Amino acid sequence: MNPSLKQVVRMLAMVPYLQSNQGIPLADLAREFKIKPAQAQRELEIMMLTGWGEYHGELIDFDVTALQDEGVVYIRDAEFMARPLRISRSEAAALMVALRTLRQSAAGDQAAVIDSALAKLGEAAGTPVDTPVDVLLPDVDPAVQTAVAEALAGKRQLHMVYATETRDEQTERVVDPHRAFTQDGHRYLSAWCHKVEADRLFRVDRIVAATVLEAPVTTDADERTRLEDLFPQGPDTPSVLVEIAPDAEWLFDQYRMDVVEERPDGSVRARLFGSDPTWLRRVVMRAGGRMRVVEPGGVADDVRGSARSALAAYDEGSPDQGV
């Protein structure tokens, strides 16, 4: 089994294991799956970008504070993994186009995994793999593409010659590659540039030459910036307005929110982004009274009703207690 496929299989097995072993130390998780703790943590970070959508409640989540401060793993919002995924033919076609786009910039084992996924998806959806859909991205030197993929996978520095279109010049740089992604029809490499000592985005089709160095990367991508780059917020992004208690600033470290108003009593009103009402209800209830839905009213009523039902389930509880 090639390394990429082996990693996917391992991560799929981790989800039910973690659901049955909440609070397991990271070292024990690594030992169970016969990998190093650092590798286990990297795979958990990849899983945080995995799901059936792009918002909170649609992606697997972890208690980041517990993982970073205590070294223990609590998985959340992975319930959808137990349900069979059903997609329409149009959704399957869109997914196949996305995979073809990814295939354009894949190398080595990645290409084989994508080809396998395309074949299985086409068979399940009844859509031929060779359907007449062309995905056109700017041409990239295959040697450059392979070097970028190897540097990312091995967490090693990359020496490259980069063409700057606006100044019609080429510069040599050593970078710490953090991630690669496709946006607006172009393939980008996000990396720390040692030449300017700052984070930079590089168009992969403008990398003239690239060589993987023996030196390991010395910087890490900022997690909040990485997630916001992948899933940019806009006026149409689903959200609710919530009020955060003065002693609950830690909630801003766990959930994606924009501050709307800082109130005189120390509380904060913020916009919490997420499209799944079930997930939003769970988030508010997990906060133990430190987060309150202000609007829309329907979500607030839903949270209030769920809290009453939960309290009523206790033998000695009252339906109105604590709501």
Residue 184 has pLDDT above 70, yes or no: no
The pLDDT value given to residue 28 = 94
Determine the angle formed by the axes of helices 3-20 and 37-47, rounding to 10 degrees. Answer: 80
Residues 310-323: pLDDT tens digits?
Answer: 677 664 544 444 44
Helix (H, G, I), strand (E, B) or coil at 34: coil
Q: pLDDT above 90 covers what percent of the chain?
A: 12
The residue ranges of DSSP E strands in 206-290, in sequence order, are 207-216, 239-244, 257-262, 268-273
Helix (H, G, I), strand (E, B) or coil at 76: strand
Average pLDDT over residues 87-96: 67
Own/partner contacts of 13-20, CB < 8 Å, gap of 24 or more, are 14/43, 14/44, 14/47, 15/47, 15/60, 15/75, 15/78, 15/81, 16/81, 18/73, 18/75, 18/78, 19/75, 19/78
Q: What is the pLDDT of residue 226?
A: 44
> Nearest 5 degrees, angle CA 215-CA 217-CA 221?
170
Alpha carbons 150 and 143: distance in angstroms, whole number: 11
**pLDDT for 172 beyond 80:** yes
- Token pair 């390991």 is found at 216
pLDDT confidence band for 56 (50 / 70 / 90): low
Cβ neighbours of residue 189 closer than 8 Å, sequence gap 6 or more:
148, 175, 177, 179, 180, 201, 202, 204, 207
Mean per-residue pLDDT of the chain = 76
Q: In Å, what is the CA distance from 140 to each residue of 66, 151, 206?
A: 41, 16, 8
Residue 124 vs residue 179, higher pLDDT:
179
Q: Strand 257-262 relative to strand 268-273: parallel, antiparallel, unpaired?
A: antiparallel
Kindly indicate the confidence band of residue 215, based on its pLDDT and cuts at 50, 70 and 90: very high
pLDDT digits (tens, 9 = 90+) for 231-266: 455 555 667 888 998 888 777 766 767 888 888 888
Q: Could you give the C-alpha distances from 113 to 129, 174, 247, 256, in angstroms and in order?
A: 14, 30, 47, 32
How far are the Cα atoms of 72, 197, 317 from residue 313, in angstroms, in the given order? 30, 57, 7
Gyration radius of the chain's alpha carbons: 23
In the prediction, which pLDDT does 57 show? 62
CA atoms in the 13 A half-sphere facing the CB of 194 = 14
pLDDT for the residue 157: 95
Gap between the Cα atoms of 146 and 175, Å rounded: 16
28-41 mean pLDDT? 90
Please check whether residue 184 is in contact with residue 196, taking contact to mean a CB–CB distance below 8 angstroms.
no
CB atoms within 10 A of CB 87: 14
Kindly report which listed range (34-48, 90-104, 210-224) carries the lowest average pLDDT score.
90-104
pTM flag (> 0.75): no
Three-state SS for 186?
strand
Task: Answer whether residue 228 shows pLDDT above 50.
Answer: no
* Mean pLDDT, residues 297-320: 68
